[in-house]
Amino acid sequence: SQTIHQWPATLVQPVGSPLSLECTVEGTSNPNLYWYRQAAGRGLQLLFYSVGIGQISSEVPQNLSASRPQDRQFILSSKKLLLSDSGFYLCAWSVGGLGEKLFFGSGTQLSVL
Protein backbone atom coordinates (compact mmCIF):
# COMPACT_ATOMS: atom_id res chain seq x y z
CA SER A 1 0.00 0.00 0.00
CA GLN A 2 1.04 3.57 -0.53
CA THR A 3 2.31 5.76 2.30
CA ILE A 4 3.58 9.29 2.53
CA HIS A 5 6.10 10.50 5.06
CA GLN A 6 6.58 14.13 5.95
CA TRP A 7 8.96 15.53 8.53
CA PRO A 8 9.50 17.16 10.88
CA ALA A 9 6.07 17.43 12.50
CA THR A 10 6.88 20.75 14.15
CA LEU A 11 9.63 23.27 13.58
CA VAL A 12 10.53 26.56 15.20
CA GLN A 13 12.99 28.67 13.25
CA PRO A 14 14.35 32.22 13.64
CA VAL A 15 13.75 34.82 10.95
CA GLY A 16 16.47 34.70 8.33
CA SER A 17 17.35 31.05 8.88
CA PRO A 18 17.16 28.43 6.10
CA LEU A 19 14.43 25.82 5.76
CA SER A 20 14.26 22.30 4.42
CA LEU A 21 11.13 20.17 4.67
CA GLU A 22 11.18 16.71 3.18
CA CYS A 23 8.45 14.46 1.89
CA THR A 24 8.75 10.92 0.54
CA VAL A 25 6.15 8.60 -0.94
CA GLU A 26 6.31 4.80 -0.87
CA GLY A 27 4.41 2.17 -2.80
CA THR A 28 3.77 4.08 -6.03
CA SER A 29 5.75 5.20 -9.07
CA ASN A 30 5.82 8.53 -10.87
CA PRO A 31 3.35 10.26 -8.54
CA ASN A 32 2.33 13.88 -8.86
CA LEU A 33 3.66 15.66 -5.78
CA TYR A 34 2.37 18.81 -4.14
CA TRP A 35 3.27 21.27 -1.41
CA TYR A 36 0.41 23.15 0.23
CA ARG A 37 0.32 25.76 2.99
CA GLN A 38 -2.62 26.16 5.32
CA ALA A 39 -3.10 29.34 7.31
CA ALA A 40 -5.45 29.33 10.29
CA GLY A 41 -9.06 29.78 9.16
CA ARG A 42 -8.11 29.78 5.49
CA GLY A 43 -8.32 27.27 2.67
CA LEU A 44 -5.28 25.32 1.55
CA GLN A 45 -3.00 27.23 -0.80
CA LEU A 46 -1.08 25.29 -3.44
CA LEU A 47 2.57 26.33 -3.42
CA PHE A 48 4.26 23.90 -5.82
CA TYR A 49 3.47 20.78 -7.77
CA SER A 50 5.61 18.36 -9.71
CA VAL A 51 4.67 15.81 -12.36
CA GLY A 52 8.16 14.27 -12.60
CA ILE A 53 11.78 14.41 -11.49
CA GLY A 54 13.19 17.91 -11.82
CA GLN A 55 9.83 19.32 -12.99
CA ILE A 56 8.52 21.98 -10.62
CA SER A 57 5.59 24.34 -11.15
CA SER A 58 5.12 27.27 -8.82
CA GLU A 59 1.64 28.57 -8.17
CA VAL A 60 2.41 31.72 -6.22
CA PRO A 61 5.44 33.99 -6.02
CA GLN A 62 7.08 33.63 -2.65
CA ASN A 63 10.15 33.17 -0.55
CA LEU A 64 10.12 29.39 -0.98
CA SER A 65 11.40 26.93 -3.56
CA ALA A 66 10.84 23.24 -4.22
CA SER A 67 12.91 20.45 -5.68
CA ARG A 68 12.31 16.86 -6.72
CA PRO A 69 15.67 15.10 -6.80
CA GLN A 70 14.14 11.61 -6.93
CA ASP A 71 10.86 10.19 -8.22
CA ARG A 72 9.27 9.91 -4.79
CA GLN A 73 11.03 12.74 -2.93
CA PHE A 74 9.83 16.32 -2.73
CA ILE A 75 11.66 19.03 -0.81
CA LEU A 76 10.48 22.49 0.23
CA SER A 77 13.23 25.01 0.93
CA SER A 78 13.98 28.59 1.78
CA LYS A 79 17.28 30.40 2.03
CA LYS A 80 15.98 33.00 4.50
CA LEU A 81 12.71 32.55 6.36
CA LEU A 82 10.28 35.42 6.87
CA LEU A 83 7.71 35.79 9.63
CA SER A 84 5.01 35.39 6.99
CA ASP A 85 6.31 31.89 6.17
CA SER A 86 4.78 30.56 9.39
CA GLY A 87 2.00 28.07 8.78
CA PHE A 88 1.02 24.45 8.41
CA TYR A 89 2.75 22.84 5.44
CA LEU A 90 1.30 19.78 3.80
CA CYS A 91 2.80 17.44 1.24
CA ALA A 92 0.46 15.41 -0.96
CA TRP A 93 0.57 12.96 -3.84
CA SER A 94 -1.72 11.71 -6.57
CA VAL A 95 -1.44 9.43 -9.60
CA GLY A 96 -2.87 9.92 -13.04
CA GLY A 97 -3.99 13.42 -13.96
CA LEU A 98 -3.54 16.46 -11.76
CA GLY A 99 -7.25 16.41 -10.94
CA GLU A 100 -7.12 13.00 -9.31
CA LYS A 101 -7.64 12.23 -5.62
CA LEU A 102 -5.01 13.65 -3.28
CA PHE A 103 -3.39 11.82 -0.40
CA PHE A 104 -1.84 14.02 2.26
CA GLY A 105 1.03 13.70 4.66
CA SER A 106 0.63 14.53 8.33
CA GLY A 107 1.92 18.07 7.94
CA THR A 108 4.64 20.30 9.42
CA GLN A 109 3.73 23.16 11.74
CA LEU A 110 6.33 25.85 11.06
CA SER A 111 6.71 28.79 13.41
CA VAL A 112 9.09 31.55 12.37
CA LEU A 113 10.03 33.80 15.30
Judged by beta carbon, residue 80 or residue 106, the one nearer another protein is 106
The stretch near another protein (CB under 8 A) out of 13-21, 39-47, 66-74, 76-84 is 39-47
Listed in order, strand segments (DSSP E) in 17-104 are 19-26, 32-38, 45-52, 55-58, 65-70, 73-78, 87-94, 103-104
Told to check if 13 binds another protein by CB under 8 A, we report: no
The stretch near another protein (CB under 8 A) out of 14-22, 66-74, 75-83, 105-113 is 105-113
Contact 86, 111 (CB under 8 A): yes
Query: Looking at 19, 35, 105, 110, which residue binds another protein (CB under 8 A)?
Result: 105
Total site size for another protein, rule CB under 8 A: 21
> 36 CB contacts (<8 Å, ≥6 apart)?
44, 45, 46, 47, 89, 90, 91, 92, 104
List of residues contacting another protein (CB under 8 A):
6, 41-46, 88, 90, 92, 97-99, 101-107, 109
